C-alpha cells in the first residue's frame, strides 16, 4: 500500500509541473483560441535562460528567478506582437503551424547558443529528502506543489476579483462582444501570452531543479496536451487537475507495468477520454460537436 501511495505522491509532484505548463497553455487557448505547440519549448527556454544567467552573473538561484520572469514576460509580448497578432483570425491549422514553427525556432536558437549537451544549475533550491509516514518526498517536490497551488490561487483570484481578470474572461468568452463594450482585445491577448510564457518559464526553472537541463525538456510540453484536454480545454483549475492526473497515471503505469508503456498508456487514456467525454472533466458540453 505504501508503494501505491508513494507512486501517487511522486505523480502529484511531477504532475504539478505538467499542471503548471498546462495552465499557461489553456490560458492562451482560452483567450486567443490558439492551440500553442510552443508551450514545451517555452519551458525549455525558461530553464536555459536561468542557466545562462546563473553562469553569466554567478548569483544564487533565488536572485535569478525575477530576472528570468521579466525576460519571459518580454518574450511573451514579443511572441504576441510578431507571431500571434498578425495572424489573428486565420484558420486553426495556420495558427497551429505558426506555433510549431515558433517551437522549431526556439529549439534551434537554444542549441546554437548553448550547444546540445545537458547542463546543470550551479545553484538550486534547497533539496532535502524527507520521509513522511514512510513516503519519500524531497523539499523540491513540496516547493513545486506549493508553487502550483499558489498559481491556482493567484489566477483564481485574478480572474474573479480584478477588473483586468474580468476583461480577460470577457475576451475569452466572446472577443467580438467584448470589443464592442470597449475592451482592448490586443492588450488582453498580450496579457494572456505574457502570463502563459511566464508560467512556462516558472515550470522550466522548477524542472531545472529536478533534472539536467537539455532540449529534451521541450517534450514535456507534449504531456500538457492530455492534461489540458482532461481538464477541459477551457478551464484553468481543470488544467492543473488534469496535469496532476496525468502525472499520477504516468507514475502508476511506470511502476506497475513499464516505462515504455507509460507514454502509450497516458495517450491511450487521452484517446478514451476524447471518445467518451470530449469536454473533459471540467468542460461544459456543447462546445465540441462538429
Partner 1 sequence: MHSKLGLALGAVAITAVALTGCSTGPSTSADSPGVTADTISIGTISDQTGPTASIQLPWLHGVQSAFDKVNKDGGVNGRKIDLLSEDDKYDVAIGQPAFKKLVSQTPTAAIMGLNTSNVQAAITPLLKQSAIPLLSGQATIKEAVSPINPYFFGLTPTYADQVDVILDYAAKRVDKKNFTVAVIDNGTASGLEVEDLVKERAVDGIKYAGAVVIEAGAASVDAQLQTIIGYHPDVIVFHGTSSAVNLIARAQEKFGTHYPLIGIAPSGGPSAFAGVTPEFGNLYEYVQWATPFPIKVKGTDDMVAAAKAAGFDKETNNPDFVAGYAGGLVMAQAIKDAGDDPTRKSIRDALEKLDDFSTGGLTPNVSFGPKDHVGVQSLVPLKWDYSTSAFEAIGSYEDYTDAITNEYQK
Partner 2 sequence: MSRPGFGRIVTSYRQERRLLRTPGRIVVLVIALAFVFLLPMVLLQHSLFGIPISDSQLLGIGLPQVNLTLIAIMGAISLNLLVGYTGLISLGHAAFFAVGAFAAGFLGTQLQLPFPLVLLGAGVAGAIVGLLIGLPSLRLQGLYLMLATLALHFVVIFVFLQYQIGNFSPAGIPYLSPEIGPLIIDDDQKWYVLLLIAAVLLLLGVRNLLRTRQGRSFIAVRDHEIAAASMGINVPRVRLTSFALSSFVVSVVGALYAYYLGNIGEGSFTLNFVIGYFAMIIIGGMGSMAGPVFGAILWSMLPQVIQTIAKQVPASTPFFGQVLNAYQGFVVLVIVAILLLVILRFRPGGLNDYWQTLKGGVTKWPYRNK
Binding site for partner 2 (CB under 8 A): 35, 83, 86-87, 90, 92-94, 96-98, 100-102, 104-105, 107-109, 111-112, 222, 225-226, 229, 233, 260-261, 263-264, 267-268, 270-271, 274-275, 278, 288-290
Please say which residue, 31 or 209, places its beta carbon nearer to partner 2.
Answer: 31
Number of Cβ within 10 Å of residue 137's Cβ equals 17
- Determine the straight-line distance between the first and last CA of the chain, rounded to whole angstroms: 44
Residue 215: Cβ-neighbour burial (10 angstroms; 0-12, 13-18, 19+): buried
C-alpha 152/C-alpha 147 separation (Å) is 9
The cell numbers describing 237, all together, are 483549475
Element (H, E) at 137: strand 135-138
Q: Which does 211 bind (CB under 5 to 8 A by kind): partner 2, partner 1, none?
A: partner 1
Q: Which does 271 bind (CB under 5 to 8 A by kind): partner 2, partner 1, none?
A: partner 2
The nearest distance, CB 283 to partner 2, in angstroms, is 12
C-alpha 205/C-alpha 218 separation (Å) is 13
The nearest distance, CB 168 to partner 1, in angstroms, is 30
The nearest distance, CB 38 to partner 2, in angstroms, is 11
- The CA-based angle 68-78-60, given to 5 degrees, is 5
Please say which residue, 173 or 219, places its beta carbon nearer to partner 1.
Answer: 219
Number of Cβ within 10 Å of residue 11's Cβ equals 23
With binding defined as CB under 8 A, does residue 265 bind partner 1?
no
Positions 108 through 147 that interact with partner 1 (CB under 8 A):
115-121, 124, 127, 129, 131, 136-138
The nearest distance, CB 165 to partner 2, in angstroms, is 25
Query: Residue 191 — φ and ψ, nearest 5°?
Result: -65, -40
Query: Residue 184 — φ and ψ, nearest 5°?
Result: -80, 105
Number of Cβ within 10 Å of residue 65's Cβ equals 16
Alpha-carbon distance values, 131 to 13, 67, 138 (Å): 15, 34, 8
With binding defined as CB under 8 A, does residue 80 bind partner 1?
no
Q: Which does 81 bind (CB under 5 to 8 A by kind): partner 1, partner 2, none?
A: none
Q: Which residue from 55, 174, 211, 284 is in contact with partner 1, where contact means CB under 8 A?
A: 211
The nearest distance, CB 21 to partner 2, in angstroms, is 16
C-alpha 12/C-alpha 71 separation (Å) is 29
Q: Which does 289 bind (CB under 5 to 8 A by kind): partner 1, partner 2, none?
A: partner 2
Q: Which does 137 bind (CB under 5 to 8 A by kind): partner 1, partner 2, none?
A: partner 1
Interface residues with partner 1 (CB under 8 A)? 3, 6-7, 10-11, 13-14, 17, 115-121, 124, 127, 129, 131, 136-138, 207, 210-212, 214, 216-217, 219-220, 250-252, 254-255, 258-260, 262-263
Amino acid at each position: 500500500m505504501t508503494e501505491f501511495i508513494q507512486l501517487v505522491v511522486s505523480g502529484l509532484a511531477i504532475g504539478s509541473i505538467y499542471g503548471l505548463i498546462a495552465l499557461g497553455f489553456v490560458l492562451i487557448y482560452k483567450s486567443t483560441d490558439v492551440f500553442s505547440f510552443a508551450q514545451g519549448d517555452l519551458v525549455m527556454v525558461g530553464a536555459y535562460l536561468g542557466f545562462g544567467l546563473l553562469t553569466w552573473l554567478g548569483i544564487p538561484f533565488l536572485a535569478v528567478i525575477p530576472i528570468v520572469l521579466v525576460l519571459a514576460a518580454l518574450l511573451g509580448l514579443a511572441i504576441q506582437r510578431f507571431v500571434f497578432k498578425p495572424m489573428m483570425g486565420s484558420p486553426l491549422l495556420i495558427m497551429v503551424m505558426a506555433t510549431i514553427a515558433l517551437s522549431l525556432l526556439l529549439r534551434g536558437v537554444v542549441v546554437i547558443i548553448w550547444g546540445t549537451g545537458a547542463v546543470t544549475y550551479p545553484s538550486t533550491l534547497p533539496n532535502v529528502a524527507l520521509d513522511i509516514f514512510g513516503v519519500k518526498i524531497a523539499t523540491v517536490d513540496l516547493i513545486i506543489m506549493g508553487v502550483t497551488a499558489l498559481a491556482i490561487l493567484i489566477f483564481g483570484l485574478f480572474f474573479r476579483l480584478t477588473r483586468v481578470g474580468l476583461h480577460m474572461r470577457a475576451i475569452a468568452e466572446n472577443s467580438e462582444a467584448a470589443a464592442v463594450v470597449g475592451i482592448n482585445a490586443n492588450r488582453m491577448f498580450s496579457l494572456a501570452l505574457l502570463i502563459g510564457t511566464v508560467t512556462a518559464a516558472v515550470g522550466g526553472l522548477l524542472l531545472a531543479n529536478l533534472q539536467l537541463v537539455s532540449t529534451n525538456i521541450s517534450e514535456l510540453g507534449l504531456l500538457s496536451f492530455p492534461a489540458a484536454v482532461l481538464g477541459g480545454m477551457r478551464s484553468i483549475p481543470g488544467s492543473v487537475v488534469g496535469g496532476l492526473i496525468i502525472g499520477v497515471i504516468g507514475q502508476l503505469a511506470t511502476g506497475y507495468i513499464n516505462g515504455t508503456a507509460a507514454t502509450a498508456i497516458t495517450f491511450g487514456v487521452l484517446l478514451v477520454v476524447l471518445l467518451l467525454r470530449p469536454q473533459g472533466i471540467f468542460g461544459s458540453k456543447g462546445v465540441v460537436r462538429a
